[in-house]
């Protein structure tokens, strides 16, 4: 017995030593990588991680092929990671001491930048002669943290309005436009609603939707000093308006009504089967609808006191452990150039972030489009995009909204009560830098 326990404890001790050793090794291991890096300035083997499915792989690979053709000294290995596992895989890679050289980032970009896991790119970009504002317009510095740019925009499209042309024509309503006010929108929703059967609007329960209204109303989720500001009158009024559409006016389906339409049916599916007349969503709605039976078109989002709309997209960042940051940036520079960005259109993947490409004929009349659709909305909307607060605690903030608004979206709580509670919770989560 005694012999046994002493043996075990010795092994235990060894194990502890191993674990501790492993952690220290990682901590310095990564630095060693960096130290031994800045050798060859031109040639580089780059690992690039992106998320998505099989079609995204095609789109990215085509762009990389163009890159390698033009700059044979750059070798880029694409690692496609399924959406659900992306953050975890990248986290493990970095924790293991070696992140990807180039990584796709989006709303949670500042998880990495605030922890110095990706590099500030201002200097490299200006050295390479990239004018972010000129190339990408208002979203040029979207992925910034403490006034430094950490990722170059790659894909970016504003949220747009999808409307059912048949239902609109039947009621003699004109197409939605950027000039619609909240009241115009509400009036149209009401016209287009047949209680229990058809709804005017798909709703705005998703942050990208109701935040647009918040910013239209002059509110902010995080104020300029970096503090949460969701219990302000502007935010409360906007959220209440969104909630009233469901419970006061009945022009948006309730969660129960959605659940009865099918599993995971949200605005996109409800719009595609003609149950709602207006839906606000991203570019992906278009490719989903090209084969649909309904007659539809797109328009820019309406406005409140001012124009504001959420944009969806992603950028490309250079990791701290990249051996050759200059080469990585050179690759990103090319990947976001008009030549490479054309492929995003050709493969029907997304909206290219490059303004010039967004305005090109290829984008306005894509080869795969089966009917005339007002693709100009993306260009038109790009000026209205507000800068969403991509704080380092983005995921926690979203969880706070999900939890705190659960009762609100069921009609059991008003916006002021819900948001006051959320504000309290956010104050413990968000610590201004």
Partner 1 sequence: MATALSTATPARERSTSKERVVGVFRASPFTYATLIVVSAVLCVPLVFVVSIALSSDQTVNANTFTILPREFHWDNFTRVFGTDLPMQRFLLNSMIISAGAVIGQVLSSGLVGYAFARLRAPGKNALFIIVLATMMIPAQITMIPQFILFKELGWVNTYLPLIVPNFFSNAFNVFLVRQFVSRLPSEIDEAAMVDGLGFFGIYRRIMLPMLAPVLIAIGIFTLTATWGDFMGPLIYLNDESKMPLALGVQYITSTSAALQAPPWNLVMVGSILLTLPMILVYYLGQRYLYEMDISGGSAGVK
Partner 2 sequence: MSRLRRREALWFYLFASPWIIGFVVFLLGPMIASVYISLTDWDSFTPPKWVGLQNYTRLLTDDPVFWKALWNTFYYAAISVPLGLVIGLWLANLLNKQVRARKVFRTLIYLPTLVPLVATAMIFKMVLAPSGPLNDVLGIFHLPGPSWLLEAVWVKPALILLSVWGAGGATVLLLAAMKGIPRELYEAAEVDGASAIRQFWSITVPQLTPIIFFNLIMGLIGAFQVFSQVYILTKGGPNNASQMMVPMLFDEAFNFYHMGYASAISWLLFAVILVFTLLAFRTARRWVFYETEVK
**Site residues (vs partner 2, CB under 8 A):** 11-12, 14-16, 18-20, 22-23, 27, 87-88, 91, 94-95, 111-112, 115-117, 255-256, 259-260, 262-264, 393, 395-396, 399, 402-404, 406-407, 410
What is the spatial distance between Cα 94 and Cα 170, in angstroms, rounded to a whole number?
Answer: 56
Alpha-carbon distances of 38 from 323, 325, 328, rounded to whole Å = 6, 8, 12
By CB under 8 A, tell whether 281 contacts partner 1.
Answer: yes
By CB under 8 A, tell whether 23 contacts partner 1.
Answer: yes
Q: Are 295 and 83 in contact (CB under 8 A)?
A: no
Size of the site for partner 1 (CB under 8 A): 61
Helix (H/G/I), strand (E/B), else coil: 161: strand
The 10 Å Cβ neighbour count of residue 89 is: 16
* Window of 54-62, 194-202, 218-226, 375-383 that interacts with partner 1 by CB under 8 A: 54-62
* Window of 115-123, 219-227, 240-248, 264-272 that interacts with partner 1 by CB under 8 A: 264-272
What is the spatial distance between Cα 303 and Cα 57, in angstroms, rounded to a whole number?
Answer: 36
Handedness of CA 164, 165, 170, 174 (dihedral sign): positive
Residue 128 binding result from partner 1, partner 2, none, given CB thresholds of 5 to 8 Å by partner type: none
Q: What minimum distance in Å lies between the beta carbon of 34 and partner 2? A: 14
By CB under 8 A, tell whether 284 contacts partner 1.
Answer: yes
C-beta of 115 vs 127, nearer to partner 2: 115
**Phi, psi (deg, nearest 5) at residue 180:** -55, 140
Residue 169 binding result from partner 2, partner 1, none, given CB thresholds of 5 to 8 Å by partner type: none
To the nearest 10 degrees (0 to 180), the angle between helices 182-191 and 233-247 is 10
Helix (H/G/I), strand (E/B), else coil: 132: helix
Locate 336 and state its tokens.
């976001």
Q: DSSP E strands: which ranges in 282-344? A: 296-299, 311-318
Q: Are 167 and 176 in contact (CB under 8 A)?
A: no
C-beta of 120 vs 285, nearer to partner 1: 285
Residue 410 binding result from partner 2, partner 1, none, given CB thresholds of 5 to 8 Å by partner type: partner 2
C-beta of 180 vs 363, nearer to partner 1: 363
**Residues of this chain that bind partner 1 (CB under 8 A):** 1, 3-5, 8, 18-19, 22-23, 25-26, 47, 51-58, 79-85, 88-89, 91-92, 95-97, 106, 206, 208, 261-266, 268-270, 272-274, 281-284, 288-289, 291-293, 312, 349-350
């Amino acid at each position: 017995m005694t012999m046994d326990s002493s043996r075990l404890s010795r092994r235990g001790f060894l194990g502890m030593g191993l674990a501790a050793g492993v952690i220290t090794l990682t901590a310095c291991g990564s630095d060693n990588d960096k130290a031994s890096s800045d050798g060859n300035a031109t040639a580089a083997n780059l690992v690039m991680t992106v998320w998505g499915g099989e079609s995204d792989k095609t789109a990215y690979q085509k762009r990389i092929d163009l890159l390698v053709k033009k700059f044979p000294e750059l070798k880029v290995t694409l690692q496609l990671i399924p959406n659900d596992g992306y953050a975890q895989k990248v986290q493990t890679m970095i924790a293991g001491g070696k992140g990807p050289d180039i990584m796709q980032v989006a709303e949670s970009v500042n998880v990495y930048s605030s922890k110095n896991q990706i590099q500030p790119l201002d200097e490299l970009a200006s050295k390479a002669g990239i004018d972010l504002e000129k190339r990408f317009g208002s979203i040029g510095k979207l992925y910034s943290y403490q006034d430094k740019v950490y990722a170059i925009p790659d894909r970016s499209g504003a949220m747009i309005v999808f409307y059912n042309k048949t239902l609109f024509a039947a009621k003699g309503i004109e197409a939605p436009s950027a000039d619609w006010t909240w009241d115009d929108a509400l009036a149209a929703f009401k016209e287009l609603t047949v209680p229990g059967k058809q709804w005017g609007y798909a709703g705005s329960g998703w942050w990208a939707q109701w935040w647009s209204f918040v910013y239209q109303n002059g509110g902010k989720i995080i104020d300029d000093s970096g503090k949460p500001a969701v219990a302000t009158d502007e935010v409360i009024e906007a959220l209440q308006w969104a909630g009233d559409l469901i419970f006061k006016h009945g022009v948006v389906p309730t969660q129960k009504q959605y659940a009865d339409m099918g599993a995971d049916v949200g605005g996109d599916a409800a719009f595609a089967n003609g149950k709602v007349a207006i839906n606000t969503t991203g570019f992906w709605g278009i490719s989903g609808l090209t084969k649909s039976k309904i007659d539809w078109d797109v328009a820019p989002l309406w406005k409140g006191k001012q124009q504001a709309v959420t944009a969806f997209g992603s950028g490309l960042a250079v990791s701290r452990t990249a051996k050759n940051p200059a080469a990585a940036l050179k690759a990103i520079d090319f990947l976001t150039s008009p030549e490479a960005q054309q492929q995003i259109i050709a493969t029907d993947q997304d909206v290219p972030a490059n303004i010039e490409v967004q305005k090109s004929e290829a984008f306005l009349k894509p080869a795969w489009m089966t009917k005339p659709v007002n693709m100009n909305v993306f260009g038109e909307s790009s000026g209205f995009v507000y800068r969403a607060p991509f704080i380092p605690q983005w995921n926690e903030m979203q969880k706070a909204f999900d939890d705190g608004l659960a009762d609100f979206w069921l009609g059991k709580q008003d916006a002021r009560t819900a948001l006051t509670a959320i504000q309290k919770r956010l104050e413990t989560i968000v610590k201004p830098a």
